[in-house]
Structure formats: structure tokens, C-alpha cells
């Protein structure tokens, strides 16, 4: 029985490796069961960390809510009138739309109000990444000093899922409502994409009828067409593992 399990796992790992190579994507993915006993990984180096980009909107949303800068996911965030290259950003937002559209200017506005001292406090409380911000509070998660590994992304997501962060439960509930990205007959998914420079991310957790899976996929972005592989490869890996059909 053990040899069969080992053989199947080896076959699955080969398929995952082939999936990345056939699509000419350099990256790493980690998938873990809620209990942590089942783990699938490809090309993961726990010593390697990357800019979190918009995946930082997960902790950042909690910080903004905890600080009382936004009351709920539906409160209007007034557009500043500046035209930006991504059309969905060029209008009033809510916390929900800002999260889903990865609206940079919304989160930059609140970053100034949070301030460096409080950001460091929250990063320590959350044990998030390397705990660094840097000289520019409006960009530290985009091209500043903050870094996080694939494994640490999942460690943080576990705390979100289990409501084990030093944040009011109502704010974690709001975040989860905003993060819910897909509802199918056989699964639900809570997720966030991220992209800054060569760092592309897709992180979150997927819940089936009988299991919860945490995932973090980091890929190298060399051209815009690579962006689709953040989610696409993640979903293909779940299919290889027979988590979803």
C-alpha cells in the first residue's frame, strides 16, 4: 500500500513539474491540507522570499479595518480623479472592489494614515514575512523591502482561516467575505492574486465537501501573458491531485 501511495505521489509530482515546464513558467507551488499532514510542493525553497505585491492586501485589509479607517466592505472610497492605466480604478471604490480589482491607490491612501510604526506592530503580530517596510510607506509591499516566502504565505493564511489573528472577529469575517472568489458545486475558493515586476502570486484556500487546502503559487512574470498562469496553473495542479474535477 505504501509503495502505491509513493508511486502515485511521484507521478503527480512529475505531472506538476511537466505542467510548469510545458508552459515555460519558472515558479513554485505549495499546497497543504488543513491538518498539515498532506503536502504537495514543486520547486519550493523555504529560504527564498519574494515581494508580496497585492497579496499583501489580505493583511492590509485587516489593518485598515482594525484601525477604523474604513467601517465595512461597502463604504465608499472616493476616487481622487486621477486617470490611471487600469480603467476599473478610475471611479469610486469600496473596500470590496478595491480588494478585487487590486486598486493600488486605495490602499496607498490608507497606508499614509496607518503609518510606519503601526505597520511594524501589525507585521510583528501577524508574523508576516521579513517584517520590513522601508522608506516608502506607499510602496513597501510593491517594490520596497517587504518579502515573504511561499511557506509563510500559507502560514499566514492558516491564521486567517482559523480566526487566530489579534484582530476583531468581525474584521476577519469581512475579509473572508471580500476574499471569496469562486463558488462551484463541489468547492469554494478564497483567494488573491498579486503582481509586481517579475513576482506573480496566487494565494488562498480552497474548501471541498470534506477538506480544506491552503495554496501559494509564485511564478516569474516575464511578459503580461504570463499573468494568467498564476491562477491557471494552481487550478490545474488541484485537478492533477484530484482535489477538484
Q: Are the C-beta atoms of 87 and 45 separated by less than 8 Å?
A: no
DSSP conformational letter for 101:
T
| pLDDT tens digits, 112-140 | 999 999 999 999 999 999 999 999 999 99
* Mean pLDDT within 142-171: 98
What's 65's domain CATH number?
3.40.710.10
The pLDDT, as a whole number, for residue 8 is 58
CB 10: neighbour CB atoms within 10 A? 10
Closest CA to 28 of 189, 182, 234: 234
Q: Dihedral sign, CA of 176, 178, 182, 186?
A: positive
Q: Dihedral sign, CA of 125, 56, 215, 15?
A: negative
Active-site position among 49, 54, 102, 196 = 54
Is pLDDT of 6 > 60?
no
In a domain, 207, yes or no: yes
Residue with cell string 494565494: 203
In a domain, 130, yes or no: yes
Total-model pTM: 0.94
Phi and psi at 118, nearest 5°, equal: -75, -35
In a domain, 58, yes or no: yes
> How far apart are alpha carbons 213 and 31 in whole angstroms?
7
> Catalytic residue at 54?
yes
The pLDDT, as a whole number, for residue 13 is 84
* CA distances for 49 relative to 28, 58, 145, 153, angstroms: 11, 17, 11, 10
Number of domains composing the chain: 1
The pLDDT, as a whole number, for residue 7 is 41
Q: Round to the nearest angstrom and report the end-to-end CA distance of the chain.
A: 25
Q: For the ranges 12-16, 173-177, 210-214, which has the lowest average pLDDT?
A: 12-16
Cα–chain-centroid distance for residue 95? 16
CB 89: neighbour CB atoms within 10 A? 19
| pLDDT tens digits, 48-105 | 999 999 999 999 999 999 999 999 999 999 999 999 999 999 999 999 999 999 999 9
> How far apart are alpha carbons 132 and 124 in whole angstroms?
10
In a domain, 71, yes or no: yes
List the beta bridge partners of residue 204.
191, 215
The pLDDT, as a whole number, for residue 1 is 26
Phi and psi at 229, nearest 5°, equal: -75, -10
In a domain, 192, yes or no: yes
> How far apart are alpha carbons 174 and 62 in whole angstroms?
9
In a domain, 45, yes or no: yes
- The most distant pair of C-alpha atoms in the chain lies apart, rounded to whole Å, by 64
List the beta bridge partners of residue 149.
49
Instruction: For residue 160, give its domain range.
Output: 2-240
The pLDDT, as a whole number, for residue 209 is 87
In a domain, 245, yes or no: no
Q: What confidence tier does 106 reach under pLDDT thresholds 50, 70, 90? A: very high
In a domain, 55, yes or no: yes
| pLDDT tens digits, 159-208 | 999 999 999 999 999 999 999 999 999 999 999 999 999 999 999 999 99
Amino acid at each position: 500500500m505504501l509503495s502505491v501511495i509513493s508511486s502515485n505521489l511521484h507521478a503527480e509530482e512529475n505531472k506538476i513539474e511537466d505542467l510548469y515546464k510545458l508552459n515555460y513558467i519558472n515558479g513554485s507551488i505549495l499546497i497543504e491540507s488543513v491538518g498539515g499532514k498532506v503536502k504537495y510542493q514543486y520547486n519550493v525553497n523555504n529560504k527564498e522570499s519574494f515581494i508580496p505585491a497585492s497579496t499583501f492586501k489580505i493583511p492590509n485589509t485587516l489593518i485598515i479595518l482594525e484601525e477604523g479607517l474604513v467601517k465595512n466592505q461597502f463604504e465608499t472610497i472616493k476616487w481622487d480623479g486621477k486617470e490611471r492605466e487600469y480603467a476599473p480604478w478610475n471611479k469610486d471604490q469600496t473596500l470590496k472592489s478595491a480588494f478585487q480589482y487590486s486598486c493600488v491607490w486605495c490602499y496607498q491612501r490608507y497606508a499614509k494614515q496607518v503609518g510606519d510604526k503601526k505597520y511594524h506592530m501589525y507585521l510583528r503580530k501577524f508574523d508576516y514575512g521579513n517584517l520590513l517596510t522601508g522608506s516608502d510607506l506607499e510602496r513597501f509591499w510593491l517594490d520596497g523591502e517587504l518579502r515573504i516566502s511561499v511557506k509563510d504565505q500559507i502560514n499566514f493564511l492558516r491564521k486567517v482561516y482559523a480566526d487566530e489573528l489579534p484582530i476583531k472577529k468581525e474584521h476577519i469575517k469581512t475579509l473572508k467575505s471580500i476574499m471569496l472568489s469562486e463558488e462551484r458545486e463541489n468547492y469554494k475558493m478564497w483567494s488573491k492574486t498579486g503582481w509586481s515586476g517579475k513576482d506573480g502570486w496566487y494565494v488562498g484556500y480552497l474548501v471541498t465537501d470534506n477538506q480544506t487546502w491552503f495554496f501559494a503559487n509564485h511564478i516569474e512574470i516575464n511578459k503580461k501573458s504570463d499573468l494568467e498562469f498564476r491562477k491557471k496553473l494552481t487550478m490545474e495542479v488541484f485537478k492533477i491531485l484530484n482535489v477538484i474535477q
